[in-house]
């Protein structure tokens, strides 16, 4: 295990920037992490926290908090984002229409999990009625 940074934020949109900033600043301490991967980390943390904020809003639990735990190692950063929202079923999210389908424009949401899976090297989602935990791993060199 490397250095660990923990952060707890209110489940509100105006704290999203703080979460991105803290995690990416912590990752920048490791000099082997290139800017490209820091930017990838910024994106996936934003996506995970946005989902958490929206989960709290949906379940009326905006007073509860979101916990971020960031484990910094020489070759990778592992971030876990835990919320206390209502949880979700990955299988219920469905697929978006193809980009060539005009119906694609009816869907403003639904890209976040796709982006997390594409950009992070490892993703894991654990969801229950008590909330959701998202584990994201970004290596200093992209694994795929």
Partner 1 sequence: MQFEVNVAPVGSWTVMAVAGEVDVATAPRLRKEVVALLGEGHDRVVVDLEAVDFVDSTGLGVLIGVLRRVNAVGGSLRLVCTTDRILDLFALTGLDRVFDVRASVGDATGESPVDSPEPTE
Q: Which residues bind partner 1 (CB under 8 A)?
A: 13-14, 16-17, 20, 39, 42-43, 46-47, 50, 53-54, 98-100, 104-112, 114-115, 118-119
Minimum distance, C-beta of residue 56 to partner 1, in the bound complex (Å): 12
Nearer to partner 1 (CB atom), residue 29 or residue 111 = 111
Minimum distance, C-beta of residue 101 to partner 1, in the bound complex (Å): 10
Q: How far is it, in rounded angstroms, from Cα 47 to Cα 52? A: 9
Minimum distance, C-beta of residue 127 to partner 1, in the bound complex (Å): 18
Nearer to partner 1 (CB atom), residue 63 or residue 118 = 118
Nearer to partner 1 (CB atom), residue 54 or residue 61 = 54
Minimum distance, C-beta of residue 2 to partner 1, in the bound complex (Å): 25
Could you say which DSSP state residue 29 is in? T
What residues contact 108, with CB distance under 8 A and at least 6 apart? none
Q: How far is it, in rounded angstroms, from Cα 65 to Cα 87? A: 14
Q: How far is it, in rounded angstroms, from Cα 114 to Cα 43? A: 12
Q: How far is it, in rounded angstroms, from Cα 138 to Cα 140? A: 7
Nearer to partner 1 (CB atom), residue 73 or residue 113 = 113
Give the DSSP H/E element, type plus range, for residue 58. helix 35-59
């Amino acid at each position: 295990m490397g250095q660990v940074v923990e952060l707890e934020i209110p489940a509100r949109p105006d704290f999203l920037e703080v979460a991105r900033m803290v995690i990416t600043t912590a990752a920048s301490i490791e000099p082997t992490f290139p800017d490209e991967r820091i930017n990838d980390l910024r994106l996936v943390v934003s996506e995970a926290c946005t989902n958490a904020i929206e989960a709290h809003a949906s379940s009326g639990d905006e007073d509860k908090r979101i916990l971020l735990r960031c484990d910094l190692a020489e070759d990778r950063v592992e971030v876990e984002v835990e919320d206390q929202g209502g949880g979700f079923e990955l299988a219920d999210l469905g697929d978006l229409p193809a980009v060539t389908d005009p119906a694609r424009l009816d869907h403003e949401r639904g890209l976040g999990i796709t982006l997390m899976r594409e950009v992070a090297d490892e993703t894991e989602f654990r969801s229950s009625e008590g909330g959701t935990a998202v584990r994201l791993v970004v290596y200093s060199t992209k694994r795929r």
